[in-house]
Chain A
């Protein structure tokens, strides 16, 4: 009898191991790192080549005189020259410092506001829809008021950047907390997570993908607001990227203008790529990457 149960339990063990092996077979598909990078890179390079070719083509047709629309080669040369001088780097530093300051403050405001609205039904009824309304407001429309309040200063830019970015971040937090699966909350409570621990162990990590999406959108808004601000609020001594754009237009220096635009585009893309990488890492951990088809 005793040996009988022993063999039966040994059999069950074998069955379980066998079933597990069968069920997870073929789930691990490995793609080499090089192949992955190449697959992600070549479409981008191709698109870039096509864009430059189209640009050159338009220049060759003589649609606009070369002093208003220079070719890629001329702009590239200008970019090289700029990269060797201090002006461009000082501009990038000024602009990035403003962006970082405004964005970090927006993140703090957005996270706190989002969490407060997500938790309190009264606050949600009071300002929930207002946050969405704020998000639809074009940030450039805030500038007249900002200039009245803070004059042509960095404060005015900061004000508009925060108003542009914080609502998106708050909305990310709110929808993240709203869509935490109730089952996970019940499981967490049963495992002993109450109060703050429930947020730490269940709600915050479950809401993370939506929060990152909100942070990403918040960045896009703050970057746009900042550029609009730097174009309008010139005259402050520092030569930010936006100010350089304005000066180059006033001097009709189109290669400088276009090369500055390229720098602005690249900075935006680099930060966006960082958010994209964070988003992808999260989705991979969660196992939703395959379903998204990427």
Chain B
């Protein structure tokens, strides 16, 4: 029933937002967080959302993930996909081993035990943590924990990945390596990614398309395609050029609030 309505769209878009508005609070205290955001993410596309503080980036991801309700507008996901969401913190369950953390979404989907074991092993190999399944999260480094979180999200078998500054708390070297990892997994699994960051270089390194949001309320003010061939390097002049351009627009937007 729903598939008939979404089929024509799902061929071209993985995630479709049309006129999405989000208001927090009521009456005089109401805050408009997002104002008429329309955005399509194509299947297999990597979209980065960039903006200064208060642009509602995280709000947007929560809405797409279904953790919060829109105040207006509509969000459509191709084939009723349940998108995977990653945060700045790994948000691993500290009482479970790495294996068991990755297993949670598989258990919730009632996969048989043998199949779960196989999938967990495969996912941990994907993020290069095959030997760490029996460790607990606190025994791992920040970058390793974030990779476990990625494996756990991939266990949802979802075509759509939502990432909320996932590498924001990591050191530069770990971040560079994780960029390579994410790029590889994204292209291998043909994922559609909506990636929020305040790091413009990171956006230029990863994105097919960069979308700039204004602050208070969040509106789309600029969008640019990034057609630098992959694999990219974060220190390449092409990436720097795109980053410079986006930074310029971002600064203009931030300056607007100082007046």
A residues contacting B by CB (< 8 A) are 5, 8-9, 12-13, 15-17, 19-20, 23-24, 27-28, 183-184, 186-193, 197, 201-202, 205-206, 208, 282, 285-288
Across chains A and B, the number of contacting residue pairs, with CB separation under 8 Å, is 93
Q: Could you list some 10 contacts between A and B, CB below 8 A?
A: A17-B128, A24-B141, A186-B87, A188-B104, A190-B67, A191-B104, A191-B108, A193-B108, A205-B93, A287-B94
Contacts of A23 in B (CB 8 A): 141, 143-144
Q: Is the CB of A191 within 8 A of B152?
A: yes
Output the least CB separation between A152 and chain B (Å).
Answer: 46
Contact of A12 among B93, B139, B141, B181 (CB under 8 A): B181
CB distance from A142 to the nearest CB of B (A): 37
Contact of B241 with A by CB under 8 A: no
Q: Is B27 an interface residue (CB 8 A)?
A: no
Residues on B with C-beta less than 8 A from A15 are 177
CA distance A234 to B105 in the complex (A): 57
Contact B128 A208 (CB under 8 A): no
Residue B91 CB within 8 A of the other chain: yes
Query: Distance (Å) between the CB of A200 and the closest chain B CB?
Result: 10
Number of B interface residues in the complex (CB < 8 A): 38
A8 to B233, CA, bound (A): 11
The answer to whether A16 touches B141, judged by C-beta atoms less than 8 angstroms apart, is no
Contact A183 B144 (CB under 8 A): no
B25 contacts chain A at the CB level, 8 A cutoff = no
CB of B31 within 8 A of chain A? no
* Contact status of A24 and B144, CB under 8 A, knowing A191-B105, A193-B108, A287-B94: yes
Chain B 136-151 near chain A by CB (<8 Å), digits 1 or 0:
1111110110000000
Please tell me if B20 contacts chain A, counting CB pairs below 8 Å. Answer: no
Question: Would you call B238 an interface residue if the criterion is a C-beta within 8 Å of the partner chain's C-beta atoms?
Answer: no
Would you give the shortest CB distance from A194 to chain B, in whole angstroms? Answer: 9
Of A19, A189, A191, A285, which contacts B136 at CB under 8 A?
A: A285
In the complex, chain A residues whose CB is within 8 Å of the CB of B9: none
